[in-house]
Structure 1
């Protein structure tokens, strides 16, 4: 699976926030949090009033929702591959590996082979739902019912939050032509899960 965008050093369309531009509080957070130091953190932190709440939401998606973690990650992978979000793909391929998601599943998701025998019926329903949310917006009755036999109403809403979040992140990083500066995804998520 090759990157969808060349990862050579390029200038992003939007100049990233530098430590010299930060307030003392921002600088302290920057120095303490690895995610603040990578390019996506430096891009998103330009939205000064939105970024702190977005960080809280992303941590909640990892630590507090009732969608099973592996299924959340399968939906995330499907979303970012459908959206061709190169930066997020590089991060979440590492997250998937850390979580024990097989390379066969990642490759099937990348190729949109959601009916592949490598997936369970439940996972197939999840991936079909994800594809319709991303591609069609409106989910048809059959696809909705297939997932609703496994997910309660809270999980259906949580899952749609996850899908929408990664649709937005893929658009943000591709709009900015953000340089892929390192794959810290697994390290970062592990730290959030263990409050490090």
Structure 2
């Protein structure tokens, strides 16, 4: 489980099932996107999708910088996806981002222990976490969950939340399927590179 692996160290040994793209060997658009990005293994795996990668990087940047959705709600949803997907890579990268967006130690611990109904979260945050859980686990969230969420967020914010959940479900699956080597957390550098 993610929460069991969070305290594990970072290994120097490469175990990824796919080789990492070397920017020097990549086509110009891919090389430029990699050079502008934080030096993360995930980006070097995604760069194999040469024609989609530069646009995908812009998409990821929009999700991190250009949403009406509150950044704290976005980040606790991302950590929830990471926990439900049991993907350490995603958790390691987004825990510091979540903290910079306002997540407290108590919130992070509760998410790591799968305690989304804990007093650490406001009613709005619990509604986002329930919605995220149901989208990941059940695909279609319950009517009660959607009603609770749409009472708190605009339609735009709900769709943006769905975009975030979908993006980070994909990231979790790529990281798991490729046995991606875990990078040290980049934190704010990811935000800077996202643009």
Question: TM above 0.5, one fold?
Answer: yes
Q: How does 1:124-139 map to 2 (within 5 A)?
A: 124-139=126-141
State how far apart, in whole Å, the 2-side matches of 1:122 and 1:83 are. 23
The answer to whether the 8 Å contact 1:91/1:186 transfers is no
SS of 2:5's partner is coil
1:18 matched to 2:22? The reply is: yes
Q: 2:79 aligns with which of 70, 77, 80?
A: 77
Distance 1:6 1:148, change over 3 A: same
The structure 2 residue matched to 1:90, chosen from 89, 92, 114, is 92
2:144 counterpart (142, 154, 173): 142
Alpha-carbon distance change, 26 to 57 in structure 1, aligned in 2, over 3 angstroms: closer
**TM-score normalised to the size of structure 2?**
0.90
Structure 2 counterpart SS, 1:139: coil
Q: State the shift of 1:192 in Å.
A: 4.9
Structure 1: unaligned runs, 5 residues or longer:
none
Change (3 A) 1:6 1:136: farther
2: CA distance, partners of 1:67 / 1:184: 22
Partner residue in 2 for 1:185: 187
CA distance in 2, matches of 1:178, 1:131: 24
Which aligned runs of 4 or more in structure 1 are off by greater than 6 angstroms? none
Map Cα deviations across residues 117-161 of structure 1 (whole Å, 9 max, x no partner): 111111111100000000011111111111111011111111001
Q: Which residues of structure 2 form unaligned runs of 5+?
A: none
Cα distance change on mapping 1:52 and 1:15 into 2, 3 Å:
same
Structure 1 counterpart of 2:55: 53
**Count of paired positions:** 191
Q: Cα distance 1:52–1:19, how it changes in 2: closer, same or farther (>3 A)?
A: closer
Alignment RMSD (CA, Å) = 1.9
